Structure formats: structure tokens, C-alpha cells
Amino acid sequence: MTTSEIARTYARVLYDLASTADAVDAADEGIRAAAEAVRGHLDLRTALSDGGVPAEKKRDVLREIFGEAVPPEVLAVVTLAVERGHTEALGDIARIFGEIAESERGIVVAEVTTAVPLADALRSSITEKLAASLGRPVSLRERVDVSIVGGVIIKVGGRVLDGSLSSQLDAVRAGLSTTSQGGEA
């Protein structure tokens, strides 16, 4: 099984547990917080990944750190992942859990790439226009890529809407390269 398949399995189990307990939003926050805590603390990540540390000690550490801070479903899945040697998959589990939760709720995910971070007003405008166009709620996954120079690229539902300045410049270059050169006769 690949790391992605493993992460998807844990995320699906967590979603099923959380939805049964009516705690999907809390689980989403909890798994993200747990993944961030493990990613952000080298000593913790090392201890949880160390095969020489007994499983009971790892469980105790996880209960001490996350016991009251996350829903029990999150603690159970994180503990299971750590015990089975999948500590490094926690970030992927959190990401995939969010995707599953959005999909189950009928939310369309749109990937938005801009040259600079989106301002709140523009983010809101893009979300509203996409939701109106698609007839479903939309969640944005934002990415900054300075190579697009300006404008925006939106990927949603298998379609790409490229309004980046770099693609417009490429189109102008292509148009100029195919035109004949010379003056008027």
C-alpha cells in the first residue's frame, strides 16, 4: 500500500468515526492541530517515529499532549497511525480528511493560484462567483506562485480558467512569432 493509500484509509476511518459522533468539524480541527504539532516539534516527531520507544509510552505521550485538546476519534486514529509506524503520514491524513469532509458535504474545491496572497474581498468575490456559477458551495485552496506574474488561475471540476499574466504574455509571444515581419509595401 502506498503512503497516499495509507493516509486515505486513516482519513476515511476518521471521517466515518467523526460523522457517527456528529463531530466532523471538531475532528477536522483536531487532526490538523495534531499533524501541525507533530510536524512542528522535531523531538516529538522523532520520539513518535522511533521504533525503540514502546507503544505504551507513545500512547501516554499522545494522551498527555492531545487527550483533552482533540476529539477522542482523532486521538484514536493518531495513536493507531503512530503505533503502526505512520507518523509521517499525519499531514496527509489531515489534508485528505478535509477533502473527504468537503466532498461528503457537497462542497466543490477550487484551486486558486495567484502571484500574491488573495485579499479578503477578492477571496470572497471569487468564492461567491464560483458558487453561483456551479450552484454548489465552494471552498478555495489557495496557492501563491510568483511565476504567473499577475492575474489568477482557477482549477475546478477538471477545468482550468487561466487568467494569469504569464499565459497572456505567452499568447502574445506566440501571435507575434507567427506574423510576418516587415513594413508596409
The pLDDT of residue 58 is above 70: yes
Convert the pLDDT of each residue in 122-167 to its tens digit.
Answer: 999 999 999 999 999 999 999 999 999 899 999 997 899 998 988 8
For 85-131, the pLDDT digits (tens) are 999 999 999 999 999 999 899 899 899 999 999 999 999 999 999 99
pLDDT for position 83: 94
Mean pLDDT to the nearest integer, 29-48 = 94
Per-residue model confidence (pLDDT) at position 47: 92
Coil, helix or strand for 105? coil
Quote the pLDDT of residue 175: 86
DSSP three-state, residue 155 = strand
pLDDT at 185 over 60: no
User: What letter represents residue 121's amino acid?
Assistant: A
Angle (CA) 14-15-16 rounded to 5° is: 90
Q: What φ, ψ does residue 160 adopt, rounded to 5°?
A: -120, 125
Comparison of pLDDT for 4 and 7, the residue scoring more: 7
22-60 CB burial, b ≥16 within 10 A, e <16: ebbeebbbbbbebbebbeeeeebbebbeeeeeeeeebee
Q: What is the pLDDT of residue 146?
A: 93
Mean pLDDT, range 5-25, rounded to an integer? 95
Whether residue 184 has pLDDT greater than 70: no
DSSP state of 181: P
Q: Please tell me the pTM assigned to this model.
A: 0.70
